[in-house]
Structure 1
Amino acid sequence: MRKEPRQARSRATVETIIQAGARVLSREGWAGFTTNKVADLAGVSVGSLYQYYPDKLSLVDAIRQNHLDDCLSIMRKIKAKGLAPMQFVANIVQAMIEAHSTYPGLHRVLLDEAPSSDDYRNPNSGFEIEYLAYYADAVSIYRNRQPNKADHITALIISDAVDGVIHNAARRGLLDDPAIQSELIRLVSKYLDEGVNP
């Protein structure tokens, strides 16, 4: 980001630009994505957009980061403690599908078309650490112990299963298919259940 928004109005402008960018990417793909189209949809001048994002690559990074932040925000609200594995998994899967349904075409573009910065692929990024720790904590709750190395491996498998199924469903236009949702919930909850009832 070229300029950090400090005032509420500036932050609202940045949020409007990001949402407009997500909409344009979702509808038109990377080939049809331009800063002019985003500015038009956002109702701001291209100059205003460039105050915050010097080019469309930096804007795509911001759109991607916004999505990752949304995912973390969802996860922070859904706790495993006190829930049966099936209910916990159902809650997280339903919330993640909902988050990916806002702009269904966006995720295909972000995954398959739009270039990404090295930060996005960094396995030691803040996002990746918090994301995997969330699942490791859930695993340790169902194993009734402090998280250990094995729980982190289980967390990696669970997060990859959830991400993979949801992202591929988004690619295929199948996010609203109840069978995919129920099978994903069944898969992950059975995996979690193994530690509860070995």
Structure 2
Amino acid sequence: MSTRIEKRQTVMRKAPRQARSHATVAAILQAGARILSDQGWAGFTTNRVAEIAGVSIGSLYQYFPDKLTLVDAIRRRHLDDCLSVMKKSRATERSPAEFAADLVQAMILAHSTHPGLHRVLLDEAPSSEDYRNPSSAFEVEYLAHYAQAVAIYRNRRPTAADHTTALIISDAMDGVIHNAARRGMLADPGIKDELVRLISLFLADTGG
């Protein structure tokens, strides 16, 4: 299991402002995610990240004072990518099957570039309590998108029951995709098809 960091503030030393600095930070985050995915926390060092990113270690330290700050930024970007998938998903005027198919495909793509990343972030890399908080801002917003989709197919405003259904769908989505990534099966069409079928059935159920 990953180490928990109770109160440590993991913030960037400075934020990128120009196009060049944004590109540098993006390269660092991409390299860090690749190393975590391929080599795990044990292989994750700032020197190795700088090498893979093609930047000097001094340039890396301009933005990230240590590897804990860096892994925190990688974790935020991963969560932002997943949240972006939900924000772009639209249930209105689409069948449950169409919505589920597009959502599953987009979520698989979000995990395909670095398929081992989520497991390492969850099980190996240190993290603050904020990321393990089931009531965090990310969790609330993420589940709200699912609940909204459920409510649309129930033809009503979101209810407590819809939030429960959203939690089940979200856990099913995350569990299947993360385990498929761990097993090297993200590209298996059977995994995608069965997950789409499962989510479609939940969404199509009127809830009685």
Q: What TM bracket, shorter-length normalisation?
A: over 0.9
Aligned-partner SS, 2:158 = coil
Residue in 2 that maps onto 1:142: 153
Residue in 2 that maps onto 1:174: 185
Task: Please give the alpha-carbon distance, in whole angstroms, between the structure 2 residues aligned to 1:28 and 1:66.
Answer: 19
Is 1:16 the counterpart of 2:27? The answer is yes
Alignment gaps of 5+ in structure 2 = 1-11
Residue in 1 that maps onto 2:97: 86
Residue in 2 that maps onto 1:162: 173
Aligned-partner SS, 2:43 = coil
Residue in 2 that maps onto 1:33: 44
Residue in 2 that maps onto 1:111: 122
Aligned-partner SS, 1:195 = coil
Query: After superposition, what is the alpha-carbon deviation per residue over 1:123-142, rounded to whole angstroms, capped at 9, x for unaligned?
Result: 22221111111001001100
Alignment gaps of 5+ in structure 1 = none
CA RMSD after TM alignment: 1.3
Residue in 1 that maps onto 2:9: none
Paired residues for 1:38-117 under 5 Å: 38-117=49-128
Task: Please give the alpha-carbon distance, in whole angstroms, between the structure 1 residues aligned to 2:79 and 2:61.
Answer: 23
Q: Is the 8 A contact 1:139 1:147 kept in 2?
A: yes
Aligned-partner SS, 2:131 = coil
- Amino acid of the residue matched to residue 33 of structure 1? F
TM-score normalised by L of structure 1: 0.94
TM-score normalised by L of structure 2: 0.90
Match of residue 124, structure 1, among 131, 135, 140: 135
Residue in 1 that maps onto 2:16: 5
Residue in 1 that maps onto 2:5: none
Task: Please give the alpha-carbon distance, in whole angstroms, between the structure 1 residues aligned to 2:38 and 2:147.
Answer: 36
Query: After superposition, what is the alpha-carbon deviation per residue over 1:59-107, rounded to whole angstroms, capped at 9, x for unaligned?
Result: 1111111111111112222201111111101110011001100111222
Residue in 1 that maps onto 2:144: 133
Query: After superposition, what is the alpha-carbon deviation per residue over 1:34-76, rounded to whole angstroms, capped at 9, x for unaligned?
Result: 1001001111111111121111111111111111111111222
Deviation at 1:122, TM superposition (A): 1.9
- Amino acid of the residue matched to residue 104 of structure 1? P
**Structure with higher RCO (Cα < 8 A, 6+ apart):** 2
